[in-house]
Amino acid sequence: MFDIRRIIQQLRQGASNREVARALGVGRNTVAGIRAGAQEAGWLGAGAAMPEDAELAAHFKRGGGTARQTSSVEPWREELLAWHAQGVSVATMRQALERKYGYAGSVHALHRLLRQAGVGTPAATVHLDFAAGEMAQVDFGAGPEICEGAGGRPVKTWVFVMTLAWSRHQYAEFVTNQSVATWLACHRRAFESFNGVVQKVRIDNPKCAITRACYYEPTVQRAYGDLALGYGFLIDPCPVRDPAKKGRVEAGVKYIKRNFMPLRTFRSLHQANDELRAWVAGEAGNRIHGSTRERPLARFAAISRRCSSRCPRWRRSARWRAPRCMATGMWCSSTASIRCRSG
């Protein structure tokens, strides 16, 4: 009876059905049923006394309003909980129910069932706001295995993603390694695709960018530091073990893995990147984004280009060598090519 009492108390204070449902995590139909029962009993009138638990139980037991309606997804509770344990998103669950059982209800019913089961309450987060042109977030994600040519050997790939924090427009590219040279080249191609440079680039702590991860003073890989100096952006590493600070590119990687990669066959890395670029400029760029409620490409075209620095011209000018002493006492070195600003 405690939940019913809380609902009646808020209704007596003038809250709408929608406000009560949102505040207490119940369905609006449930609130409407309790409102009808409480009005019938005269509990919502000015000066009316709050009923005792025994009165509430007796009234709603004999049909005065509805205390709780059965969820429209209750028949699939166990299946939904199993999917949740596997990390399946609620939107994907909703689509699966529609395909398998013809479910036509709202995704909110799934959220309510998971919340009532004690597994659907997300951790508290703080929404970070950025100005246009202020920040891009960068990350690698696991890509598909690609066979080069007929009968070719499968090659493991990663997807490099740079997401503009304000517009949510992104650059994405499949690569076969996470070397320093690849990291730098992907940055260059991303800035060229945007035709501009942001003020800050937020990264995780990959070895191709950060040689020593630390909460206060991370050590930046030298070639990457020179790249940032040449382009004129600040490197902003996430705190150690806190990837949520770059949640927008995390979401971008997840979106590619869930919406682009499945049900596609790639015969070459070149073909995969051609299709990925077309998808980013088409379906991904023109969808209605869940947070901004706008199309990322339209948002980018309207403001972001005016708020970012123009992409400078580049020339090849340096090769950094990282010396290493072998067990024999001899020294060897690996190289990483970078591009430095021209003029």
324, part of any domain: no
If asked whether residues 161 and 93 sit together in one domain, one would say no
Predicted model pTM? 0.59
Q: How many domains does the chain divide into?
A: 3
If asked whether residues 41 and 93 sit together in one domain, one would say no
Q: Which domain holds residue 79?
A: 75-116
pLDDT per 10-residue tile (average), the chain, 343 residues: 77 86 80 85 80 79 54 85 82 84 85 81 64 91 84 88 94 94 93 91 80 59 84 84 76 90 87 95 91 90 68 51 57 45 34
If asked whether residues 289 and 171 sit together in one domain, one would say yes
What are the angstrom distances between the C-alpha of 23 and each of 16, 28, 110?
Answer: 11, 11, 17
225, part of any domain: yes
User: What is the reported pLDDT for 64?
Assistant: 47
If asked whether residues 32 and 99 sit together in one domain, one would say no
Q: What is the dihedral of CA 86, 91, 96, 97, to 10 degrees?
A: 110
If asked whether residues 42 and 159 sit together in one domain, one would say no
Residue 154 contacts by C-beta under 8 Å, 6 or more apart in sequence? 145, 146, 147
User: What is the reported pLDDT for 341?
Assistant: 37
User: What is the reported pLDDT for 34?
Assistant: 87
If asked whether residues 111 and 175 sit together in one domain, one would say no
If asked whether residues 156 and 199 sit together in one domain, one would say yes
If asked whether residues 111 and 144 sit together in one domain, one would say no
